[in-house]
Structure 1
Amino acid sequence: MKFSILALLPALISGATAAPKPAGTLAKRDAPKVYLAGDSTMAKNGGGAGTGTEGWGQYLAYSLDIEVINDAIGGRSARSFTNEGRFQAIIDVVEPGDFVVIEFGHNDGGSLSTTDNGRTDCFGDGEETCISPTTGETVYTFVFYEVEAGKALQAKGANVIMSSQTPDNPWETGTFVYEPTRFVGYAKTAADAIGASYVDHGQYVADRFEALGATAVDAFYPNDHTHTSPEGADVVSAAFVKSVLCANDGLAAHVKNATSSVPGSCV
């Protein structure tokens, strides 16, 4: 992987300032930024350019008074985002006071028994390890990858928000069914392990989709049961904003909307 498991707390390099800062002081920029780390459900173009889909991260900026940098990319898991150096790229540029939203789960499942797609995490919620049957790589758990990235980001002074994965179309069968995957619980475990914020984005999306009904929600999924249309992505983004407001997370101070103006109820 691109950032060392043994050296995940990078040195803090102080920039030149008009007046020297006390040792150990981290200077905040005038306005924080929000970095998004996730998969296609969050990423620009959603399921791919030209597919008529969009990731919810593309709409978050409309609800905030600070800049949003969407670093999510399709097909990634907590493991592959780590191994490709994508977490490290955010760690390298994040500054004190910035926010980083981490949301994975759609690509983290599967088995490492006989093959390895490069995305599957080792099963478990702690420091369990597996050996890739394809490459011989030591593979860690979803929780481990998120915790290690979160600790490195916190060491740079960032506010980390662990967000649970969004659901696939819960109306797909004609009857509303929402059964959170194990990665929803894993995201909270990772947040608790490092004292990061946690929002149950998946539950907030599910509640909104149940209220909107099958006809409306089915139209949000033009190609499959995972990737949303622009209209669906907008609803999913609003659900994230609602979860932040209800949790009274630090990011809530930068939300333009009052809690009562965002559809849905706090859970």
Structure 2
Amino acid sequence: MLQIMKPMAIKYLALSFAGLCASLATPVWAQSAATNYRFDLSGAKPKAGFTAVGTSKNYNNDYGFDMGTASQVIMRKGHSSSFVTSNKPFYFSAAVPEGNYKVTLTLGDAEGPTQTTVKAESRRLMVENFATKPNESKKVSFIVNIRMPQIANGEMVKLKPRENGKLDWDNKLTLEFAGNSAVSAIEIEKVDNQITVYLAGNSTVVDQDDEPWAAWGQMIPRFFKPGVAIANHAESGLTLGSFIGSKRLEKVMSLIKPGDYLFIEFGHNDQKEKGPNDGAYKSYTERLKLFVMQAREHKANPVIVTSTARRSFDAEGKTVNTLGDYPAAARKVAQELNVPLIDLNQMVTKFYDALGVENSKKALVHYPANTFPGQDKALEDNTHFNPYGAYELAKCIVEGIKTNNLGLKKYLVDTKTFDPSKPDPIESFNWPLSPKNSAIKPDGN
């Protein structure tokens, strides 16, 4: 028998259906985790609103010490509270949806001085040598961008096999602590009001997972205070065309907001394309213009970055251009479309010339056999940078931001002028090695 629903029941069903529709509008992968956490690592009764985390708490699709490092973390009594520390790098993760997150750490309070370096996700440098005095407790905040391969329209970024399992693409926010660290609290808060700088590029830009490889894109977060998030979508071996073909540009455009930035650096791998329509002033120029136009369609700010120079010297010890017309083509597109240009190629050339033929090896992956575990052969790579070289290149990008008077410059935390022809001495650079290393050269070498 047909029953007539009461008005209240109809209203309830309507609200339930509306709620279901709203739920379905947000992909399941974006709903599955909390967006705010406050962890107390002091071992004492946690403050109101904080969750106590002991040293035995392993990450298990929620939060905790990660990557098998819980067993090495120890609790120590500080001046006014306790803290966790380790004599090796250790990891802490929390499951979060895609987005930008403000991370605030409470560090120090030890009987002696502490010095902490923090990397996020795939070795992004967030905090460098943060120091506290004996019995001093201090807070430091930074922004971590979290992304996943899913695109809002149901498509997926086509990841390379080497990207599977990469911390940059998983469903958690991971922090790596190194140095003489003392950590008593970790706060994670989703923030939607950040200017996001999207990076499109290749192996000279990407977040390199393993020591001793590095790129400027994973060093640049260290130079920004909260207000700016760095979303590094670069990957080794990519061209402008394969960045499009693997749906990375589509992914970026699904997220980019008015006022955001798109930094574009390609050329190394585009140079190797030999089809009838390929070339610096053909497909490279056309695709570069496409990236610019798509960013502008979303009311975002494109910035063209010329390719890093390879380490190659002539008989007189001066750097030789091995990239043909590609740097010039990028400059031409920037001029034609009135796009800010960061001439990294020119700055890296000055950097190599200043270091010289032999010393320039110290900025790239040149290491004798057995420098790293399992590395039984010498590494000699004149394209890819080590952490020192990548850090110096990030300083070049910072100079380009200031020279172009980009709105981002007010968020910089280090505004001292950097001259690539007067690089920092490598002896002054301190980079605590991450646990993972690899002798396999990045794609596109």
Q: Where does residue 30 of structure 1 map in the other structure?
A: 193
In the TM superposition, residue 230 of structure 1 has moved relative to its aligned partner by 1.0
- From 353, 363, 370, the equivalent of 1:210 is 353
SS of 2:195 mapped into structure 1:
coil
* Larger deviation, residues 143-152 vs 246-255: 246-255
Q: In the aligned structure 2, how far is the partner of 1:161 from the partner of 1:181?
A: 21
Query: Are residue 152 (structure 1) and residue 314 (structure 2) matched?
Result: no
Per the normalisation by structure 1, the TM-score is: 0.72
Q: CA RMSD in A?
A: 2.4
Q: Where does residue 55 of structure 1 map in the other structure?
A: 215
In the TM superposition, residue 236 of structure 1 has moved relative to its aligned partner by 1.2
Instruction: Check the 8 A contact 1:39/1:77 in 2, yes or no.
Output: yes
Q: Which has the larger radius of gyration?
A: 2
Q: Where does residue 231 of structure 2 map in the other structure?
A: 69
- From 398, 403, 410, the equivalent of 1:253 is 410
Q: In the aligned structure 2, how far is the partner of 1:111 from the partner of 1:156?
A: 29
User: Which amino acid counterpart does residue 391 of structure 2 have in structure 1?
Assistant: D
In the TM superposition, residue 212 of structure 1 has moved relative to its aligned partner by 2.7
User: Which amino acid counterpart does residue 223 of structure 2 have in structure 1?
Assistant: S
In the TM superposition, residue 216 of structure 1 has moved relative to its aligned partner by 2.7
Q: Structure 1 or 2: larger helix share?
A: 1
- From 186, 191, 207, the equivalent of 1:44 is 207
SS of 2:318 mapped into structure 1:
coil
Q: In the aligned structure 2, how far is the partner of 1:55 from the partner of 1:172?
A: 25
Q: In the aligned structure 2, how far is the partner of 1:41 from the partner of 1:173?
A: 26
Structure 1 segment 136-175 matched on structure 2, within 5 A: 141-171=283-313, 175=317
User: Which amino acid counterpart does residue 105 of structure 1 have in structure 2?
Assistant: G
In the TM superposition, residue 174 of structure 1 has moved relative to its aligned partner by 7.9
* Larger deviation, residues 166-175 vs 104-113: 166-175
What is the total number of aligned residue pairs between the two structures? 214
User: Which amino acid counterpart does residue 269 of structure 2 have in structure 1?
Assistant: N
* Cα deviation digits, residues 96-140 of structure 1 (max 9, x gap): 1111100000001135359xxxxxx61252xx5xxxxxxxxxxxx
Query: Are residue 104 (structure 1) and residue 247 (structure 2) matched?
Result: no
Query: Are residue 224 (structure 1) and residue 381 (structure 2) matched?
Result: yes
Per the normalisation by structure 2, the TM-score is: 0.45
SS of 2:381 mapped into structure 1:
coil
* Cα deviation digits, residues 20-46 of structure 1 (max 9, x gap): xxxxxxxxx63311110000011111x
User: Which amino acid counterpart does residue 216 of structure 1 have in structure 2?
Assistant: N
SS of 2:358 mapped into structure 1:
helix
In the TM superposition, residue 51 of structure 1 has moved relative to its aligned partner by 5.6
User: Which amino acid counterpart does residue 163 of structure 1 have in structure 2?
Assistant: V
Q: In the aligned structure 2, how far is the partner of 1:103 from the partner of 1:174?
A: 29
Instruction: Check the 8 A contact 2:271/2:280 in 1, yes or no.
Output: no
Q: In the aligned structure 2, how far is the partner of 1:178 from the partner of 1:241?
A: 24
SS of 2:391 mapped into structure 1:
helix
Q: Where does residue 256 of structure 2 map in the other structure?
A: 94
Instruction: Check the 8 A contact 1:151/1:194 in 2, yes or no.
Output: no
SS of 1:227 mapped into structure 2:
strand
Structure with higher RCO (Cα < 8 A, 6+ apart):
1
Q: Structure 1 or 2: larger strand share?
A: 2
Q: In the aligned structure 2, how far is the partner of 1:61 from the partner of 1:172?
A: 35
User: Which amino acid counterpart does residue 85 of structure 1 have in structure 2?
Assistant: K
Instruction: Check the 8 A contact 1:208/1:239 in 2, yes or no.
Output: no
Q: In the aligned structure 2, how far is the partner of 1:95 from the partner of 1:156?
A: 7
